[in-house]
Amino acid sequence: MKRFLVLLIACLAFPVSAQTGLPPAPYANRQLDDPQQEAAARELMEELRCLKCQSQSIADSNAPMAGDMRSQVRERIAAGETPEQVRSWLVERYGNWVSYNPPIASAVTWPLWFAPIILLLAALWLARGRFRKPKDDE
């Protein structure tokens, strides 16, 4: 389990040398004034993947690039875009990798979304033989 630790640490602790001297983008760490917009932005940020650290959402990352992405998300939402528009703007540029929410309408990822139903049906079918009808006694 050491890797578990190392992985987490690697994500939270960036080499100091890789930090840039510049302050983060304006809305990297600043909430939007409209609480509803902020909530929408927050929800989206938790579903977008940090480009630099690979295993964290941009909402949970100290990476400067993640801060810039947060700022972009907040600015775009404040400008009236819907979260889905912002998401597809990023997916257009980085592919589905950038979103933790795989699309349903995709040749590659639809089986994921149907898996719960298929598995549940398979499980019920597997169990059907176990049960005795209430009437016939032993």
Partner 1 sequence: MIAETGLIALWLAAALALLQFALGAIGLRADRQEYFKAIRPVAVAQGLFVAFSFLLLIWLFLRSDMSVRLVVMNSASVKPFIYKFAGTWGNHEGSMLLWVTVMGLAGAFIALFERSLKTRTLVATLAAQAFISLGFYAFLLVSSNPFERMFPIPAEGQGLNPLLQDPGLAFHPPTLYFGYVGLSVAFSFAVGAMITRDVGADFAKAMRPWVLGAWIFLTLGITAGSYWAYYELGWGGWWFWDPVENASLMPWLAATALLHSVTVLATRDSLRAWTLMLAVVAFSMSMIGTFLVRSGILTSVHAFAVDPERGSFILALLALYIGGAMALFALRVGTVKEGKHFELVSREGALVANNLLLSVILALVFIGTLYPLLVEALTGDKLSVGPPYFNLATGPLALMLVAAMAAGPLLRWRRDNPKTLLNRISIPILITAAALFSLVLFTTGMSVLALLGLALAAGVAVASFAPLWKRNLRRTPLHTYGMVIAHFGIAVALVGMACESSFTEENLVAAKPGDEISINKWKLKFDAIEPMAGPNWTALESRITAQYGDGTIHEIAPQNRMFAAAQTQTSEAALLTRWNGQLYVVLGDGDSQGRWQIRVWWKPFVPLIWFGGILVALGGFLAMIGRLRRGYKQRKQREYAEATI
Partner 2 sequence: MNRWLLWLPLVLFGIFFAAVATGLIMPKDNIIESKMVGKPMPAFALPAAVEQRPAVSSTDLAQGKPTLLNIFASWCVPCIAEAPQLLALQKAGVEINAIASRDTPEDIANFLNRWGNPYVRIGTDTTSKVQLELGSSGVPETFVIDGNGIIVHQHIGDIREEDIPKLLKLLEDAK
**Footprint of partner 2 (CB under 8 A):** 17-22, 24-26, 51-52, 54, 64-65, 68-69, 71-72, 90, 92-95, 97-98, 129
- Return the number of the residue (61 or 72) whose C-beta is nearest partner 2: 72
Distance CA 70, CA 76 (A): 10
Closest listed residue to residue 91, CA positions, set 46, 61, 55, 49: 49
Task: Name the amino acid, one letter, at 86.
Answer: V
- For helices 64-78 and 83-94, the axis angle rounded to 10 degrees is 140
- Return the number of the residue (11 or 98) whose C-beta is nearest partner 2: 98
Q: How far is CA 46 from the centre of its chain?
A: 5
Contact of residue 110 among partner 1, partner 2, none (CB under 5-8 Å per partner type): none
Please say whether the beta carbons of 25 and 72 come within 8 A.
Answer: yes
Distance CA 41, CA 31 (A): 9
Q: Which residues bind partner 1 (CB under 8 A)?
A: 1-17, 23, 29-31, 39, 42, 46-47, 49, 53-57, 59-62, 95-102, 108-109, 112-113, 115-116, 119-120, 123-124, 126-127, 129-134
- Return the number of the residue (55 or 85) whose C-beta is nearest partner 1: 55
Kindly state the smallest distance separating residue 112's Cβ from partner 2, in Å.
15
* Count of other CB atoms within 10 angstroms of residue 49: 20
- Return the number of the residue (80 or 95) whose C-beta is nearest partner 1: 95
Kindly state the smallest distance separating residue 76's Cβ from partner 1, in Å.
18
